[in-house]
Structure 1
């Protein structure tokens, strides 16, 4: 029997929790589906060693409620996965949203019904729902990716992907461990694995820049100060390009005298976190500016590594910050330990995985356990896994795959897919901001939109092709005026074989984006077609 609700939400991470709460508060009936056993989204499944956020904890949370904010106390500057998951469970309890959620349930298909002007949703359990609105809260980094290594099924030891980590502890003690990948999850996990493993082999394709977290525990006085500064912090975050209370850089690095420039860089390095990214205003738009920061970071690596050959293999030469900026805790120092070996895949690529380990073009490395820190099919991967069909049976997969350009309107909606909203979707600020800040903005905009539709007795909302095309063009032009498109990364999808390279993040800043979205709604949802079709259940 088909069950009817006003809205179906997919995912119960940050996005799903807040969207579910807002819908209920606004008087809409809602059903939220989550394939995992509980809330948390990526923080529920990416439980690998060393996993933590890279935004300061007191800003990596919801800010829509002062009461909610002040009830929770973070223990460290950069919270670990376990603490973030505890926080999200705390929020779910405080907001009392679990009653509207169904766990261990995957959405298998969602099909737009033209006649009834609603979505028909089928779950993996065979449940059928009809909903006026379909809202994706699946996130940008929730579909793990492992390259198609030859012989991967032959390995007789243990193997795990960092994005699908077991909920029980993995014991590395006395084991020979191979880690493939040195993106964020690799950089975070390798030092922790090396603490107990007998041998660690790091299979590196691309060296990475990283900045120390300078993580530490908070004092009671600091916690109270953060809570007392709620209003001022929230005010700055709402007008910040990054969604963080970090002052906007006003100086060009190439125009700053060398002595002053070095002082600013050293201070940012000493403070740790994301401060270095925001130290100057031209790091990601000017090649000479970027090279100054890049060489500063390469010198930091050279100074840490005892073996000059290993140091050389660890030096990155892409444009700094055009891949995900990485924060680390003792990452490069780990390579000074005798039981840690760096395998440079540019010199000896992986040929295959054998039953006993990993074989490169030079030798075979015997292993007991393999960690795939090989990243995600980001931005569109999880959306494309869902079988979503819009008007006239148009499949989202057909619309976006096989070399076709990904286009959205504001990163919030798609032409041909009425009443479908994507929280932090492609071509929104998403992963280049403090993600909870971006999520709050999207959820609140969607909430206001649905209330507007109810107030005006409207049944459908859908972007026009022209508005979608123009927004995508604007996003592309912004990106091509930076260095981001000159680097192969998961930002562009180049880490996924066969995926058409496309930069799918709005680079104008969360502050400008917020103003654009507000203007669209203030002008009666300009760029959208609003329909008055009647629903027949």
Structure 2
């Protein structure tokens, strides 16, 4: 961009999941000198690392894919309603190969530090191997949930058996036949993996801290007729991407549950339960903002759990209480609750029987000792911020991003941060991230960042930086959007509540992807309101 002799790249991308791949593809097409660095040995991000048995998307496959390329959308045919991890990974690999991206990616390389050089307006980025590269712009595509969290349990290092985290599952098959397996964690990953483990292991002990709401997936193979009809729906899906709250249609009745009679209400909920998927939470207009309305939906799901689990005591321990449905991630599984009807599957309630230590041969709680051959941690992530704060990013005047976010992250639009020029975050905190279809959010962010970079190039400007006042205003809007919901009634990873010592700040924007897109696009149309775009002094020869 005018000074290529003194920098390695115009744009450096961190991550080669869906966000990083799409960003790299758009940069390549626009003629930017670009490169991506990826910790893993292949593309796919979330779907490269999360290889645990039962891993699959909880958005329908036909919506969990790119829409920016009509031919790509038409050429790829999904096999199931909710695709499995191997199929989604193949899709990511197909996209990367089709776009010719592999030569532009450095694999098996973690970024450990990134420093902004104020004198040259260039990012210096260091890898775990000691290499340093310099780039005018830095784009993080590290994902919202890519920093695995393992609780600090006394004695963990003494355990002599096999130990796995669902987010770092081995590529090679794990043989669980005849083994005693303990699973710690009952969030989305735990709820998906537990039925699979129960089908192979001799004994399964599930250690549950917080019961979670889970609904049936209703997964099935897509019919030939459904596959054949998909290309004709492309234009409609593109329209829905920008005009709906989630980035795809989630059908609802358009009516409040509180104004719906008992029989009609029950009929709607039964239909949604039989259909499967998470649309049950959007069936009525008031269950996401009114506690009385939410309780009617929650009680319906609680009764379904009680009807599924044959042992009443186990059922009650599995029934979520104390928080509204939908304020934690709603889980999807076709066999989770039924798994506890098997004689070799046991539930341990850590609320009443906490873990005291992990021993060489298993787990000891305050009430019992459990001999185990395998420990599986399904304990989630330091979401939204962990992958960024662990990277040692330093902006103007030596300000550390981790220090700046100690009291909770603040961004402008989830895309940029004041004090960190030329740094852009795809689906960063303050954007809709996991509260929308993440593929739709990625496509919007990538296009928005690309257009800003093109604007800078065409106007011969080198630096874009979020203004502090705009960042403060956006933080207030993010908080206000959350306050119009019931999210604050639950201790969730949306608030950082799963990480000891993490500031309790609601991190995603809860106003809907359609509203969010309009806000971001209005910022761009008004000359990137809230950003300072400038021509800062170029470094002289030999300053590299």
TM-score, length-scaled by structure 2: 0.97
Aligned residues: 535
Query: In the aligned structure 2, how far is the partner of 1:247 from the partner of 1:355?
Result: 51
Partner of 1:187: 191
Give deviations 1:232-267, integer Å, cap 9, x for gaps.
122122211101122466211111222211111111
Cα offset, 1:405, TM superposition: 3.2
Establish whether residue 410 from structure 1 lines up as the match of residue 413 from structure 2. Answer: yes
Query: In the aligned structure 2, how far is the partner of 1:492 from the partner of 1:26?
Result: 37
Task: Extract unaligned runs of 5+ from structure 2.
Answer: none
Query: In the aligned structure 2, how far is the partner of 1:382 from the partner of 1:195?
Result: 33
Query: In the aligned structure 1, how far is the partner of 2:491 from the partner of 2:288?
Result: 14
Partner of 1:436: 439
Establish whether residue 389 from structure 1 lines up as the match of residue 399 from structure 2. Answer: no
Select 2:108's aligned residue among 84, 104, 107.
104
Q: Is the 8 A contact 1:118 1:535 kept in 2?
A: no
Select 1:347's aligned residue among 332, 347, 352.
352
Aligned counterparts, 1:432-471, within 5 A: 432-471=435-474
Give deviations 1:279-306, integer Å, cap 9, x for gaps.
1122221100110000000000011111
Give deviations 1:290-346, integer Å, cap 9, x for gaps.
100000000000111111111111110121010011101211001100000011111
Query: In the aligned structure 2, how far is the partner of 1:140 from the partner of 1:86?
Result: 21
SS at 2:113's partner residue?
strand
Establish whether residue 85 from structure 1 lines up as the match of residue 89 from structure 2. Answer: yes
Partner of 2:403: 398
Aligned counterparts, 1:11-410, within 5 A: 11-247=15-251, 250-317=254-321, 318-401=323-406, 404-410=407-413
Query: In the aligned structure 1, how far is the partner of 2:491 from the partner of 2:410?
Result: 20
Q: Is the 8 A contact 1:2 1:129 kept in 2?
A: no
Cα offset, 1:3, TM superposition: 5.6
Query: In the aligned structure 2, how far is the partner of 1:2 from the partner of 1:210?
Result: 54
Q: Is the 8 A contact 1:47 1:166 kept in 2?
A: yes
Select 2:496's aligned residue among 493, 498, 501.
493
SS at 1:57's partner residue?
coil
Cα offset, 1:37, TM superposition: 0.2
Q: Is the 8 A contact 2:408 2:504 kept in 1?
A: no
Give deviations 1:481-529, integer Å, cap 9, x for gaps.
2110120011111111111111101011000000000100000000111
Query: In the aligned structure 2, how far is the partner of 1:225 from the partner of 1:494?
Result: 43
Cα offset, 1:221, TM superposition: 1.8
Cα offset, 1:417, TM superposition: 0.2
SS at 1:58's partner residue?
coil
Q: Alpha carbon RMSD of aligned pairs, Å? A: 1.2
SS at 2:258's partner residue?
coil
Query: In the aligned structure 2, how far is the partner of 1:45 from the partner of 1:36?
Result: 8
Select 2:511's aligned residue among 505, 508, 512.
508
Q: Is the 8 A contact 1:2 1:128 kept in 2?
A: no
Task: Extract unaligned runs of 5+ from structure 1.
Answer: none
Query: In the aligned structure 2, how far is the partner of 1:356 from the partner of 1:82?
Result: 33
Query: In the aligned structure 2, how far is the partner of 1:126 from the partner of 1:347?
Result: 48
Query: In the aligned structure 2, how far is the partner of 1:30 from the partner of 1:529?
Result: 23
Q: Is the 8 A contact 1:161 1:372 kept in 2?
A: yes
Give deviations 1:208-227, integer Å, cap 9, x for gaps.
11110000011222111112
